[in-house]
Structure 1
Amino acid sequence: MKIASFLLLFLGLTAFAPTPRLTTVKLGTGLAVGVPAGFTALPDDGIAAKYPSPRRPLAVYTNPSGRVDFSVAVRPTTFESMDYGVLLKIYKSSIQRLYTKVDFLKEDIRTVNGRDFIYFEFVSSVTDERRNIQLAPIKRYQTVQYAIKGQQLYVFTFVAPAEEQAQWKPTALAVMNAITLK
Protein backbone atom coordinates (compact mmCIF):
# COMPACT_ATOMS: atom_id res chain seq x y z
CA MET A 1 0.00 0.00 0.00
CA LYS A 2 2.83 2.39 0.87
CA ILE A 3 4.54 1.68 -2.43
CA ALA A 4 1.35 2.40 -4.38
CA SER A 5 0.89 5.68 -2.51
CA PHE A 6 4.49 6.66 -3.19
CA LEU A 7 4.14 5.85 -6.89
CA LEU A 8 0.96 7.90 -7.17
CA LEU A 9 2.65 10.84 -5.44
CA PHE A 10 5.73 10.56 -7.68
CA LEU A 11 3.67 10.36 -10.87
CA GLY A 12 1.52 13.27 -9.74
CA LEU A 13 4.53 15.47 -9.04
CA THR A 14 6.37 14.61 -12.25
CA ALA A 15 3.25 15.24 -14.35
CA PHE A 16 3.52 18.91 -13.43
CA ALA A 17 7.26 19.25 -14.06
CA PRO A 18 7.98 22.24 -16.27
CA THR A 19 8.38 21.48 -19.96
CA PRO A 20 11.61 22.85 -21.43
CA ARG A 21 11.03 25.95 -23.59
CA LEU A 22 11.97 25.46 -27.21
CA THR A 23 12.09 27.85 -30.14
CA THR A 24 11.21 26.38 -33.55
CA VAL A 25 13.92 26.97 -36.15
CA LYS A 26 13.53 26.08 -39.84
CA LEU A 27 16.74 24.67 -41.29
CA GLY A 28 15.51 24.02 -44.80
CA THR A 29 12.55 22.87 -46.80
CA GLY A 30 10.61 20.43 -44.65
CA LEU A 31 13.07 20.50 -41.71
CA ALA A 32 12.34 22.27 -38.44
CA VAL A 33 13.88 21.68 -35.01
CA GLY A 34 13.18 22.86 -31.50
CA VAL A 35 16.14 24.74 -30.03
CA PRO A 36 16.29 25.16 -26.23
CA ALA A 37 15.80 28.66 -24.85
CA GLY A 38 19.15 30.36 -24.32
CA PHE A 39 20.98 28.30 -26.93
CA THR A 40 22.60 30.22 -29.78
CA ALA A 41 23.68 29.14 -33.26
CA LEU A 42 27.39 28.68 -33.75
CA PRO A 43 28.73 30.58 -36.75
CA ASP A 44 30.52 28.63 -39.50
CA ASP A 45 33.98 29.30 -38.04
CA GLY A 46 32.74 28.18 -34.60
CA ILE A 47 31.38 24.95 -36.09
CA ALA A 48 34.68 24.38 -37.92
CA ALA A 49 36.65 24.86 -34.68
CA LYS A 50 34.41 22.68 -32.50
CA TYR A 51 33.68 20.01 -35.14
CA PRO A 52 36.81 19.77 -37.31
CA SER A 53 35.67 17.50 -40.11
CA PRO A 54 35.32 17.69 -43.87
CA ARG A 55 31.59 17.00 -43.32
CA ARG A 56 30.56 19.66 -40.85
CA PRO A 57 27.12 19.68 -39.24
CA LEU A 58 24.39 21.65 -41.00
CA ALA A 59 23.75 23.58 -37.76
CA VAL A 60 25.00 23.60 -34.17
CA TYR A 61 23.31 25.29 -31.24
CA THR A 62 25.10 25.65 -27.91
CA ASN A 63 24.23 26.81 -24.43
CA PRO A 64 25.88 29.96 -22.97
CA SER A 65 28.71 27.97 -21.33
CA GLY A 66 29.44 26.06 -24.57
CA ARG A 67 29.30 22.73 -22.69
CA VAL A 68 25.98 21.52 -24.15
CA ASP A 69 25.31 21.23 -27.89
CA PHE A 70 22.48 20.29 -30.20
CA SER A 71 23.63 19.58 -33.75
CA VAL A 72 22.02 18.60 -37.03
CA ALA A 73 24.03 16.87 -39.73
CA VAL A 74 23.07 15.65 -43.20
CA ARG A 75 24.92 12.90 -45.06
CA PRO A 76 24.27 11.07 -48.31
CA THR A 77 23.04 7.49 -47.92
CA THR A 78 22.03 4.57 -50.08
CA PHE A 79 19.84 3.08 -47.34
CA GLU A 80 16.07 3.50 -47.12
CA SER A 81 13.76 3.88 -44.15
CA MET A 82 12.70 0.24 -44.50
CA ASP A 83 16.30 -0.62 -43.47
CA TYR A 84 15.94 0.89 -39.97
CA GLY A 85 16.04 -2.52 -38.23
CA VAL A 86 19.45 -3.28 -39.73
CA LEU A 87 20.67 0.29 -39.36
CA LEU A 88 19.87 0.26 -35.63
CA LYS A 89 22.45 -2.51 -35.19
CA ILE A 90 24.98 -0.83 -37.48
CA TYR A 91 24.73 2.56 -35.77
CA LYS A 92 24.89 0.98 -32.31
CA SER A 93 28.10 -0.78 -33.30
CA SER A 94 29.48 2.48 -34.74
CA ILE A 95 28.72 4.33 -31.51
CA GLN A 96 30.46 1.61 -29.50
CA ARG A 97 33.59 1.93 -31.66
CA LEU A 98 33.75 5.71 -31.17
CA TYR A 99 34.13 5.56 -27.38
CA THR A 100 36.09 3.61 -24.78
CA LYS A 101 32.86 2.68 -22.99
CA VAL A 102 29.17 3.17 -23.81
CA ASP A 103 26.25 2.59 -21.45
CA PHE A 104 23.07 2.50 -23.54
CA LEU A 105 20.03 3.79 -21.67
CA LYS A 106 17.64 3.37 -24.60
CA GLU A 107 17.74 2.23 -28.22
CA ASP A 108 14.67 2.10 -30.36
CA ILE A 109 12.91 2.87 -33.60
CA ARG A 110 10.28 5.45 -32.75
CA THR A 111 7.89 7.82 -34.47
CA VAL A 112 8.11 11.58 -33.95
CA ASN A 113 5.73 13.94 -35.74
CA GLY A 114 4.79 11.25 -38.26
CA ARG A 115 8.36 10.24 -39.15
CA ASP A 116 10.26 7.15 -37.97
CA PHE A 117 13.65 7.69 -36.32
CA ILE A 118 16.38 5.43 -35.02
CA TYR A 119 16.94 6.62 -31.44
CA PHE A 120 19.79 6.14 -28.98
CA GLU A 121 20.25 7.52 -25.49
CA PHE A 122 23.56 6.73 -23.80
CA VAL A 123 26.45 7.82 -21.60
CA SER A 124 29.82 7.64 -23.32
CA SER A 125 33.32 7.60 -21.83
CA VAL A 126 36.60 8.30 -23.55
CA THR A 127 39.82 7.39 -21.77
CA ASP A 128 43.25 8.38 -23.03
CA GLU A 129 45.22 5.16 -22.64
CA ARG A 130 48.11 6.13 -24.90
CA ARG A 131 50.15 7.80 -22.18
CA ASN A 132 51.70 6.63 -18.95
CA ILE A 133 49.79 9.40 -17.19
CA GLN A 134 46.22 8.31 -16.55
CA LEU A 135 43.82 11.20 -17.17
CA ALA A 136 40.22 11.15 -15.97
CA PRO A 137 37.83 9.88 -18.64
CA ILE A 138 35.62 12.35 -20.46
CA LYS A 139 32.00 11.34 -19.93
CA ARG A 140 29.05 12.64 -21.95
CA TYR A 141 25.30 12.14 -21.87
CA GLN A 142 24.00 11.90 -25.45
CA THR A 143 20.81 11.41 -27.39
CA VAL A 144 21.05 10.73 -31.11
CA GLN A 145 18.31 10.33 -33.71
CA TYR A 146 18.75 9.21 -37.30
CA ALA A 147 16.22 9.58 -40.11
CA ILE A 148 16.34 8.97 -43.84
CA LYS A 149 14.61 11.26 -46.29
CA GLY A 150 15.24 10.49 -49.95
CA GLN A 151 18.97 9.97 -50.41
CA GLN A 152 19.87 11.89 -47.23
CA LEU A 153 20.58 10.67 -43.70
CA TYR A 154 19.73 13.25 -41.03
CA VAL A 155 21.55 12.97 -37.71
CA PHE A 156 20.31 14.91 -34.68
CA THR A 157 22.61 14.89 -31.64
CA PHE A 158 22.23 16.39 -28.16
CA VAL A 159 25.38 16.25 -26.00
CA ALA A 160 25.88 17.31 -22.37
CA PRO A 161 28.39 16.49 -19.62
CA ALA A 162 27.43 13.20 -17.94
CA GLU A 163 27.43 14.80 -14.51
CA GLU A 164 24.65 17.13 -15.75
CA GLN A 165 22.51 14.32 -17.18
CA ALA A 166 19.64 14.80 -14.73
CA GLN A 167 19.47 18.50 -15.59
CA TRP A 168 19.63 18.11 -19.38
CA LYS A 169 17.70 14.86 -19.99
CA PRO A 170 14.23 16.53 -20.11
CA THR A 171 15.57 19.12 -22.56
CA ALA A 172 17.25 16.48 -24.73
CA LEU A 173 14.02 14.47 -24.92
CA ALA A 174 11.97 17.59 -25.72
CA VAL A 175 14.41 18.57 -28.49
CA MET A 176 14.25 15.10 -30.04
CA ASN A 177 10.45 15.15 -29.88
CA ALA A 178 10.27 18.55 -31.58
CA ILE A 179 11.96 17.52 -34.83
CA THR A 180 9.78 17.87 -37.92
CA LEU A 181 11.09 16.31 -41.11
CA LYS A 182 8.65 16.27 -44.04
Structure 2
Amino acid sequence: MTKVNVTEEINMMIPSDFRLMTDDEMASRYFTTKKPVAIYTDQTVMVDLGINQSATEWIVDDLEIMVSFQKSNIYNFYDDIEMIDQGIKEVDGKKAAYFEFISTVKPEGKSFRSQSPVKKYTYIQYMIVGEHSWVFNFSSPVQLQSIWQPQVINIMNSVIFLKKKK
Protein backbone atom coordinates (compact mmCIF):
# COMPACT_ATOMS: atom_id res chain seq x y z
CA MET A 1 0.00 0.00 0.00
CA THR A 2 1.10 3.53 -0.78
CA LYS A 3 -0.04 6.78 0.82
CA VAL A 4 -1.47 9.07 -1.89
CA ASN A 5 -2.55 12.70 -1.85
CA VAL A 6 -5.81 12.33 -3.76
CA THR A 7 -6.48 16.08 -3.43
CA GLU A 8 -5.13 18.87 -1.25
CA GLU A 9 -7.80 17.79 1.27
CA ILE A 10 -7.61 13.98 1.10
CA ASN A 11 -4.88 11.43 1.78
CA MET A 12 -5.45 7.69 1.67
CA MET A 13 -3.66 4.41 1.17
CA ILE A 14 -4.03 2.69 -2.18
CA PRO A 15 -2.47 -0.50 -3.54
CA SER A 16 1.09 0.17 -4.74
CA ASP A 17 0.42 -1.12 -8.25
CA PHE A 18 -2.62 1.13 -8.83
CA ARG A 19 -2.36 4.13 -11.14
CA LEU A 20 -4.62 7.00 -12.12
CA MET A 21 -7.03 6.03 -14.86
CA THR A 22 -6.60 8.02 -18.08
CA ASP A 23 -9.38 10.29 -19.35
CA ASP A 24 -9.98 7.89 -22.27
CA GLU A 25 -10.27 4.90 -19.92
CA MET A 26 -12.68 6.86 -17.71
CA ALA A 27 -14.82 7.87 -20.68
CA SER A 28 -15.00 4.31 -22.02
CA ARG A 29 -15.86 2.69 -18.67
CA TYR A 30 -17.94 5.28 -16.82
CA PHE A 31 -20.79 7.31 -18.23
CA THR A 32 -21.08 10.47 -16.17
CA THR A 33 -21.62 14.13 -16.86
CA LYS A 34 -19.26 15.18 -14.06
CA LYS A 35 -15.68 13.94 -14.07
CA PRO A 36 -14.78 12.13 -10.82
CA VAL A 37 -12.13 13.64 -8.55
CA ALA A 38 -9.93 10.57 -9.23
CA ILE A 39 -10.20 6.97 -10.36
CA TYR A 40 -7.32 4.61 -9.71
CA THR A 41 -7.09 1.24 -11.42
CA ASP A 42 -4.89 -1.83 -11.32
CA GLN A 43 -2.66 -3.00 -14.15
CA THR A 44 -5.44 -5.12 -15.69
CA VAL A 45 -7.88 -2.16 -15.61
CA MET A 46 -10.41 -4.50 -13.97
CA VAL A 47 -10.20 -3.27 -10.35
CA ASP A 48 -11.08 0.36 -9.68
CA LEU A 49 -11.01 2.78 -6.76
CA GLY A 50 -12.96 5.97 -7.40
CA ILE A 51 -13.19 9.15 -5.36
CA ASN A 52 -15.90 11.67 -6.08
CA GLN A 53 -17.53 14.67 -4.53
CA SER A 54 -21.32 14.70 -4.70
CA ALA A 55 -23.09 17.64 -6.31
CA THR A 56 -25.76 17.44 -3.60
CA GLU A 57 -24.92 19.32 -0.43
CA TRP A 58 -25.55 17.61 2.90
CA ILE A 59 -24.71 18.39 6.49
CA VAL A 60 -23.12 15.89 8.86
CA ASP A 61 -26.39 15.39 10.78
CA ASP A 62 -28.04 14.22 7.52
CA LEU A 63 -25.83 11.13 7.12
CA GLU A 64 -28.58 8.66 8.10
CA ILE A 65 -31.03 10.30 5.66
CA MET A 66 -28.40 10.24 2.91
CA VAL A 67 -27.79 6.54 3.60
CA SER A 68 -31.43 5.68 2.88
CA PHE A 69 -31.30 7.57 -0.43
CA GLN A 70 -28.02 5.93 -1.43
CA LYS A 71 -29.22 2.44 -0.51
CA SER A 72 -32.28 2.94 -2.70
CA ASN A 73 -30.05 4.15 -5.54
CA ILE A 74 -27.84 1.07 -5.23
CA TYR A 75 -30.80 -1.30 -5.41
CA ASN A 76 -32.23 0.57 -8.42
CA PHE A 77 -28.95 0.72 -10.31
CA TYR A 78 -28.32 -3.04 -10.52
CA ASP A 79 -30.49 -5.99 -11.53
CA ASP A 80 -29.64 -7.89 -8.34
CA ILE A 81 -27.84 -7.06 -5.07
CA GLU A 82 -26.44 -9.44 -2.48
CA MET A 83 -25.69 -7.16 0.48
CA ILE A 84 -22.69 -8.41 2.46
CA ASP A 85 -22.47 -5.64 5.04
CA GLN A 86 -23.68 -2.11 5.61
CA GLY A 87 -23.59 0.41 8.39
CA ILE A 88 -22.05 3.52 9.84
CA LYS A 89 -18.53 3.55 11.23
CA GLU A 90 -15.92 6.12 12.21
CA VAL A 91 -13.08 7.01 9.84
CA ASP A 92 -10.60 9.78 10.69
CA GLY A 93 -12.88 10.91 13.53
CA LYS A 94 -15.83 11.33 11.15
CA LYS A 95 -18.92 9.24 10.51
CA ALA A 96 -18.80 7.16 7.35
CA ALA A 97 -21.65 5.13 5.87
CA TYR A 98 -20.72 2.06 3.86
CA PHE A 99 -22.26 -0.64 1.70
CA GLU A 100 -20.44 -3.83 0.76
CA PHE A 101 -22.20 -5.98 -1.81
CA ILE A 102 -22.12 -8.18 -4.89
CA SER A 103 -24.01 -6.70 -7.81
CA THR A 104 -25.36 -8.39 -10.91
CA VAL A 105 -26.10 -6.68 -14.20
CA LYS A 106 -27.96 -8.90 -16.64
CA PRO A 107 -27.32 -8.61 -20.37
CA GLU A 108 -29.83 -6.87 -22.60
CA GLY A 109 -32.61 -9.29 -23.54
CA LYS A 110 -32.63 -8.24 -27.19
CA SER A 111 -28.94 -8.88 -27.80
CA PHE A 112 -27.96 -11.19 -30.67
CA ARG A 113 -24.93 -12.38 -28.73
CA SER A 114 -25.14 -14.76 -25.83
CA GLN A 115 -23.80 -12.92 -22.79
CA SER A 116 -23.44 -13.83 -19.15
CA PRO A 117 -24.50 -11.53 -16.33
CA VAL A 118 -21.72 -9.27 -15.00
CA LYS A 119 -21.09 -9.76 -11.28
CA LYS A 120 -18.95 -7.34 -9.29
CA TYR A 121 -17.76 -7.04 -5.73
CA THR A 122 -18.27 -3.44 -4.55
CA TYR A 123 -17.56 -1.42 -1.42
CA ILE A 124 -18.93 2.13 -1.33
CA GLN A 125 -18.20 4.56 1.49
CA TYR A 126 -19.91 7.94 1.97
CA MET A 127 -18.58 10.72 4.17
CA ILE A 128 -19.94 14.22 4.76
CA VAL A 129 -17.18 16.74 5.39
CA GLY A 130 -18.06 20.42 5.60
CA GLU A 131 -20.78 21.08 3.03
CA HIS A 132 -19.75 18.23 0.75
CA SER A 133 -20.42 14.55 0.61
CA TRP A 134 -17.62 12.34 -0.59
CA VAL A 135 -18.00 8.96 -2.26
CA PHE A 136 -15.25 6.33 -2.20
CA ASN A 137 -16.09 3.41 -4.47
CA PHE A 138 -14.09 0.19 -4.89
CA SER A 139 -15.09 -2.48 -7.40
CA SER A 140 -13.61 -5.68 -8.78
CA PRO A 141 -14.86 -8.73 -10.63
CA VAL A 142 -16.61 -11.03 -8.14
CA GLN A 143 -13.98 -13.72 -8.85
CA LEU A 144 -11.39 -11.44 -7.14
CA GLN A 145 -13.50 -10.77 -4.03
CA SER A 146 -11.47 -13.09 -1.79
CA ILE A 147 -8.29 -11.21 -2.74
CA TRP A 148 -9.66 -7.69 -2.31
CA GLN A 149 -12.21 -7.97 0.51
CA PRO A 150 -9.59 -7.99 3.32
CA GLN A 151 -7.71 -5.07 1.73
CA VAL A 152 -10.65 -2.81 0.88
CA ILE A 153 -11.52 -2.18 4.52
CA ASN A 154 -7.94 -1.01 5.18
CA ILE A 155 -8.12 1.21 2.08
CA MET A 156 -11.41 2.80 3.15
CA ASN A 157 -10.35 3.18 6.79
CA SER A 158 -7.19 5.02 5.67
CA VAL A 159 -9.05 8.10 4.36
CA ILE A 160 -7.80 11.26 6.05
CA PHE A 161 -9.23 14.72 5.48
CA LEU A 162 -6.60 17.43 5.91
CA LYS A 163 -7.26 20.95 7.08
CA LYS A 164 -7.55 23.36 4.15
CA LYS A 165 -4.61 25.69 3.78
CA LYS A 166 -5.58 29.33 4.01
Fold equivalence (TM over 0.5): yes
| Structure 1 residues 41 and 85, CA gap change in structure 2 (3 angstroms) | same
Of residues 106-115 and 131-140 in structure 1, the stretch that sits farther from structure 2 once superposed is 131-140
Q: Give per-residue Cα distances to partners, 1:99-131, cap 9 Å, x unaligned.
A: 000011111011012111111100000002432
1:160 partnered with 2:145: no
> What amino acid sits opposite 2:78 in the alignment?
Y
1:115 partnered with 2:94: yes
> What amino acid sits opposite 2:96 in the alignment?
F
Q: Give per-residue Cα distances to partners, 1:10-66, cap 9 Å, x unaligned.
A: xxxxxxxxxxxx111112232112111211111333323322321121111111111
Give the structure with higher Rg (CA). 1
The residue aligned with 1:27 is 6
Contact 1:77 1:151 in 2 (8 A): no
TM-score, normalised to structure 2, is 0.90
Greater relative CO (CA pairs within 8 A, separation 6+): 2
Residue 123 of structure 2: which of 139, 143, 160 is its match? 143
Which consecutive residues of structure 1, in runs of 5 or more, have no partner in the other structure?
1-21
Contact 2:52 2:134 in 1 (8 A): yes
What is the RMSD of the two structures over their aligned residues, measured on CA atoms?
A: 1.6
| Structure 1 residues 77 and 132, CA gap change in structure 2 (3 angstroms) | closer
The residue aligned with 1:105 is 84
TM-score, normalised to structure 1, is 0.82
Which consecutive residues of structure 2, in runs of 5 or more, have no partner in the other structure?
none
> In structure 1, what is the Cα distance between the partners aligned to 2:62 and 2:12?
24
The residue aligned with 1:127 is 106
Q: Percent identity over the alignment?
A: 29
The residue aligned with 2:63 is 84
Partner SS, residue 77 of structure 1: strand
